[in-house]
Amino acid sequence: MEIVNYFALPTTGQVLAVACAFILSALIGAERELRHKDAGMRTHVLVGMGSCLFTLISIGGAPADLTGNLRWDGARIASQVVSGIGFIGAGVIWFHHDAIRGLTTASAIWVAAAIGMACGAQMYGLAILVVAAYFLLVLAAAPLFHILAKRTGSIIQMSYDDGRGILRDVLLEISRRGFETQVLSSQRTSTDGRTCVHVDIRVKGSHDLDMLIQWLSELDGVQSVKLADEIE
């Protein structure tokens, strides 16, 4: 047995693969960190480099004197990367006032893992293409969708305790903040003697909708509030 084989320096291709995974995943992580998301640059870089390393191990295999007569199936290592990333992604998804938060960040972690695996397989062009598509989506497409939403209006779904004049105060506050309002539907439900009203309100305007949602969620008597198409 030659001990030197276990301490062989990485090849140029392996170094390039890890470096590419580091840079590309750091770009995605920087975008998430600038938006003050739970998973930032460090998380994405570690996920990207770890996925790259697992892929390199899968491709390179293990020394024959370690595996013996056992059959080496490197694809099983790489296939478990996707399952493992699922646990990390689940950690950044959370519920707040019946709205799901963190789906985009969880997806970004998953993409960082895929980029790391692509770099490990020396598919650098594909990895760069995916990063470019990511930034096209988050920096160009998403703002465009928000602009279109402001023109057509957004629908706020709110549930509140009946008989406290909450809807009147809400409509006045929305109008005061510069939005146009329209009540689309209203439904009352009773549970254990407690009456709750579920209302859909269409709002139009170019003002800060997130601040409005935050104010509504903190209003006494409001049980839940979210945008109809809110997933993050």
The 10s digit of each residue's pLDDT in 2-57 is: 444 566 788 899 999 999 999 999 999 998 888 888 788 999 999 999 999 999 88
At residue 232 the predicted structure's pLDDT band, cuts being 50, 70 and 90, is very low
Give the global pTM. 0.60
Of the candidates 216, 83, 64, 92, which has an alpha carbon nearest to the alpha carbon of residue 154?
Answer: 216
pLDDT tens, 61-111? Answer: 665 555 555 566 666 777 788 778 877 777 776 655 445 567 788 888 999
Please state which of the four CATH numbers 3.30.70.260, 3.40.50.10740, 1.10.1740.10, 3.40.640.10 is assigned to the domain occupying 153-227. Answer: 3.30.70.260
Domain ranges of the chain: 9-149, 153-227
- Closest by CA to 150, choosing from 57, 65, 227, is 227
Give SS3 for 180: strand
pLDDT in tens, 145-177: 666 655 566 788 888 888 777 888 888 878 887
Residue 82: the pLDDT is 78
CA dihedral 127, 132, 136, 138 (to 10 degrees): 60
pLDDT digits (tens, 9 = 90+) for 169-224: 888 878 887 777 778 888 888 777 778 888 888 887 766 777 778 888 887 888 88
Taking the C-alpha atoms of residue 219 and residue 205, their distance in angstroms, rounded to an integer, is 21
With contact defined as beta carbons under 8 Å apart, do 32 and 108 qualify?
yes
Q: Mapping DSSP to helix (H, G, I), strand (E, B) and coil, where does residue 91 land?
A: coil
Order of strands, sheet of 222-227, starting from the edge strand that comes earlier in the sequence? 180-191, 194-204, 154-161, 222-227
pLDDT of res. 64: 54
Q: Residue 204: beta bridge partners?
A: 180
The answer to whether the CB of 120 falls within 8 A of the CB of 17 is: yes
Query: What pLDDT shows up at residue 72?
Result: 61
The answer to whether 105 and 85 are in contact (CB under 8 A) is: no
Beta bridge partners of 201: 156, 183
Q: Give the sign of the dihedral formed by CA 170, CA 175, CA 178, CA 184.
A: positive
Q: Give the DSSP H/E element, type plus range, for residue 194.
A: strand 194-204
